[in-house]
A = this chain, B = another copy of it.
Amino acid sequence: MDVLVPFAADRPKTRLSDTFTPAERRAFADAMLRDVLRAVREADGEPTVLADRPIDLADRVGADLAATAAVRVDDRELTPAVSAAITDAFPGTVADPADAIAVVMGDLAIATPRSLERLFDATGDVVLAPGRGGGTNALVVRDPAFRVDYHGASVRDHRRAARSIDASLTEIDSYRLGTDVDERDDLAEVLLHGTGTARRWLSDAGFELRTADGRVTVERTAVE
């Protein structure tokens, strides 16, 4: 499966500006990208990082992992950039079962190979993995007529888009794929469920779970 991994290299993780310094935001975004790429590879996916500006992937995720991934640069917004990549994935205008492309966001820090296998293996012209707050954290497209739109409640819009072209639609019920990391409270999910670089990065940076009434959040303690 060809897997597009959108990655905001230009201004990573702006909603974590209150939590991280700019350098930390970049380092943490790189750690998440590394975890996603590794999970994609272990699920037998062939990743292409879709970056919004030129990046040195080896510098971001290490030479070994970078050697297994391609980079595509498109400085437009997410929707036209992904749309163009999907169009390029379908040489013909008629659906060919051999043509399929997955889109897996680069901030799915608790995605595992198993959760991605469920996505890749699901049948359907369009397969959606909903994300918190109406997002579409991952999808598979097997119908060249399908168009993405990441603005607003994209999972709702993608359901409608699939219906409008009579494409068969499957939804993947995955907590791991449903969890993207945008806000401070999301860091608790990484500490609770992460298995890779991003979790270690957070721990090394002094982040710990803070339990209180209701949901768990994070706090940061000084590290030497």
A209 close to B173 (CB less than 8 A): no
Give CA–CA (A215, B178) in the complex, Å: 12
For residue A155, CB closer than 8 A to chain B, the reply is: yes
Q: How large is the interface on A (under 10, 10 to 19, 20 to 34, 35 or more residues)?
A: 20 to 34
Which of B155, B177, B215 makes the CB contact (< 8 A) with A133?
B215
A149 to chain B, nearest CB (A): 11
Given A153-B211, A156-B209, A209-B153, the answer on whether A133 and B173 have CB atoms closer than 8 Å is no
Which of B118, B153, B178, B192 makes the CB contact (< 8 A) with A156?
B192
A130 close to B215 (CB less than 8 A): no
Give CA–CA (A217, B151) in the complex, Å: 14
A217 close to B133 (CB less than 8 A): yes
Give CA–CA (A175, B134) in the complex, Å: 12
B211 close to A130 (CB less than 8 A): no
B133 close to A188 (CB less than 8 A): yes
Given A155-B192, A175-B178, the answer on whether A135 and B215 have CB atoms closer than 8 Å is yes
Residues of B within 8 A of A178 (CB): 175, 178
Chain A contact residues, CB within 8 Å of chain B: 15, 112, 114-115, 118, 130, 132-135, 151-153, 155-156, 173-178, 182-183, 185, 188-189, 192-193, 209, 211, 214-217
Given contacts A130-B193, A134-B209, 20 further A-B contacts (CB under 8 A): A15-B214, A130-B175, A132-B132, A133-B185, A133-B188, A133-B189, A133-B215, A133-B216, A134-B215, A151-B211, A153-B192, A153-B209, A153-B211, A153-B216, A156-B192, A156-B209, A173-B175, A173-B176, A175-B177, A178-B178
